[in-house]
Chains A and B, each alone.
Chain A
Amino acid sequence: MVDTTTQQNINKQLFQKLELAYFCVDHSMVVKDVSSNLSQYGFTDVCEGGNIEDFVDFMVGLDSHTEIDLPLVASPSGIPISVSLLPSEEQLTVLIANASVQAEQRQKLQQQANENELLVYQQKKLMAELERASAELERKNLQLEEASRLQTSFLSGVSHEFRTPLTSIIGYTNLVRKDLRHVSEQMVPRIAKTDDSQSYLRAVQRSSKHLLSLVENLLDHGKLDSNEIVIRPKRTDIAEVFEDAAILLHPLSTTKNIEFEVETNFSSPAFAVTDDSRLRQCLINLVGNAIKFTDTGSVTLSVDWKDDILDVAIRDTGPGISEEDLQKIRLPFWQAADTGKAGTGLGLTITERLIEMMGGELRIESKLGEGTHVHFALPMPAAPEGDSPVEQTNAEAVPLKLLLVEDDSDIADLVWMMLSERGVDVVHVANGALALDALNDDSFDIVLMDIHMPIMSGYDAIQELRARGDETPVVVMSASAMEADREKAELLGCQAYLTKPVDVDDIMNIADAVLSS
């Protein structure tokens, strides 16, 4: 049992240790007693008889009957305190203790925990954003791919549309040139005039041919992009391929007055298994480029075939390519800005892809002012002796079979060329009598008939044909635009009447219409 004195001592000790302060209020919140150390917590001027709410903010709103603990309150002095409201019958005692130690511990712990949680939250948010961003990127990528696919298919479509009229421009200018030559032979005084026309026509043809080759490059690019080009290796005399390339390119080097040499370690016949037309395309492109960009000196094509590998190197003494341009040169549609050489910028892209498809890799080494060295190697096994050419399997639809009856061999050639391009199987005869023979021996889907021909005219031939009971559809093709001729053709049961110069599209459209009816 602790006596009163001891109790008082303990209390004193406790008060000092906890730095306890206090005040007492009656039930009307009037201050009755204040400990002397209360001001150490910043509660100053608390005087007996006053209302506690006027001195101590935290007392506002509290009542004198409720026991309550308020831990960790920041006191006006800045010292954290814990406050206990202890009501009794007569009064409310409010005990205030120094809670610095507790607050400090708590502060560290809480700060850490809260900061961690915020960090985790931010991280999650960032991750989600990253995911969104990458999904967005992916979507954009797909869009780009789609756009590029559309672009390619648009280019292919347009190129295809260009090709036919170009072919016919080239064909018809050819015919006009031949006509002019004929005229100049007969009419001596006008020779100068026709000479001019000849050279103009040559210019038209040159430009058209250039356009055609660009269009063909665009078409190839489109096919490569959509994986439509297939490499078809077959037994090939590769010596012939290189000779062809040399023959084709020599005129080009001669006009530029540069040397062009071909060195091979084999001679004809050298049978290997390869896609000769694609190989030829690569050679013409690469050597053509070398000649195009070399203005003095030489271009050398050296070929080495051994151990089933064909090694091709093309060296030129041209201006060379800067390191920066070497990076871009393989991009489709890229062109060196200052060369002034025309092209689509597709040749190299196409060649590189073709070489890859044939199992090789195109390497280009160059330095400005030191010429360019282009190199590629292809796997190229020798063809077994006596092996017959591997047949190209063409699983396409059966081609349209057309009988072309035309006495002018130039026009016949032209129409034949244009129709063959469209995959039509064309048989050509020169007059009505021969046409009847041909129709006797063979069957055709359609006949394309000129009217004015020697031996037997078109009309006579059609009449005879119908008399035989042969109902093969006939399309008349005539230089005459006279209505009477058209009517006559109709009368004879012809399916259509075309006026020269005929448009191959018209022929194809009529053929489609006739055959589907």
Chain B
Amino acid sequence: MSKKKICMVGDFSVGKTSLTQKFVNNVFSEKYLTTIGVKIDTANVGHTKLIVWDVAGRDSLSSINASYLVGAAGVVLVADGSRPHTVDDLNDIWSTVTQRIGDVPAVVALNKADLDDWGVGDDKVTEFRSLGWDVFNTSAKNGQNVPELFERLVEKINA
């Protein structure tokens, strides 16, 4: 079985940990606990053993520690659809990724799709798609598009 490392990246509190936990353990918690450093989980997707690095988000105190990215075969770019600026920040975060590990396969999770105050414009989605990313409206809360998100990334990595 092949093993692949992937990284969850995005601003803090967008749902990186929640998406990972939903996917790996099928659990969700409303409580917010900031991830410090990195937490590593594993899950099998088909014949691939996925090593998921749930990296601390970019926040007011620090940017993403690029060392965590080393060795990743792909990334999940996560944003909070109810906080539009976290969507805009993905471009910056992507350049951090490419500087360190190059143009790896990527998928985008516009998370918290279960919330009412959705603030992502169609133009943003179009822009992301034109960068070659698959864009998913996800919800760690109700599970919407969560397996699809990870499966798609694995497909791209193995392609």
A interface with B by C-beta (< 8 Å)? 53, 57-58, 60-63, 66, 68-74, 80, 99, 103, 106-107, 109-111, 113-115, 117-118, 121, 125
Asked if B36 and A61 make an inter-chain contact with CB atoms under 8 angstroms apart, the answer reads no
Question: In the complex, what's the smallest C-beta–C-beta distance from B135 to chain A, in angstroms?
Answer: 23
* Contacts known (A57-B51, A61-B51, A71-B65); A107 close to B34, Cβ less than 8 A: yes
Query: Are the CB atoms of A103 and B71 closer together than 8 Å?
Result: no
- Across-interface contacts of A72 in B (CB, < 8 A): 36-38, 56
Residues of B1-58 whose CB lies within 8 A of A: 3-5, 12-13, 32-34, 36-40, 42, 51, 56
- CB distance A80 to B70 under 8 Å? no
Q: Which of B34, B37, B39 contacts A114 (CB 8 A)?
A: B34
A selection of 20 A-B contacts at a CB cut-off of 8 Å is A57-B40, A57-B51, A58-B40, A58-B51, A60-B4, A61-B51, A61-B70, A61-B71, A61-B72, A68-B67, A68-B70, A69-B67, A103-B36, A109-B61, A110-B56, A114-B34, A114-B60, A115-B32, A117-B60, A118-B13
Nearest chain-B residue to A110 (Cβ)?
A: B34
Residues on B with beta carbons closer than 8 Å to the beta carbon of A115 = 32
Contacts of A69 in B (CB 8 A): 67
Chain B residues packing against A (C-beta within 8 Å): 3-5, 12-13, 32-34, 36-40, 42, 51, 56, 59-61, 65, 67-68, 70-73, 83, 117
Tell me what chain B mostly uses at the interface: helix, strand, loop, or mixed.
loop
Are B37 and A60 closer than 8 Å at their CB atoms?
no
* A62 CA / B51 CA spacing, docked (Å): 12
Q: Is the CB of A74 within 8 A of B38?
A: yes
* B61 and A110 within 8 A (CB): yes
CB <8 Å contact, B33 and A111? yes
Q: In the bound complex, how far is the Cα of B71 from the Cα of A379, in angstroms?
A: 93
Roughly how many angstroms separate A121 CA and B82 CA in the complex, as a whole number?
11
- Which 6 residue pairs across A and B have the least CB separation, nearest first? A72-B37, A61-B71, A61-B5, A74-B39, A62-B71, A60-B3
Besides A66-B70, A70-B68, A74-B39, 6 new A-B residue pairs in contact (Cβ under 8 A), listed by A number? A71-B65, A72-B37, A110-B61, A111-B33, A113-B61, A114-B32
State A68–B3 Cα separation when bound (angstroms). 20
Q: Are A70 and B38 in contact (CB under 8 A)?
A: yes
Q: B117 — which chain A residues lie within 8 A by C-beta?
A: 125
Q: What's the least CB distance linking B90 to chain A, in Å?
A: 17
Residues of A within 8 A of B40 (CB): 57-58, 73-74
Task: Choose among A110, A113, A115 the residue with the greatest number of B CB atoms under 10 Å from its CB.
Answer: A110
When distances are taken between beta carbons in the complex, the residues of chain B under 8 Å from A58 are: 40, 51
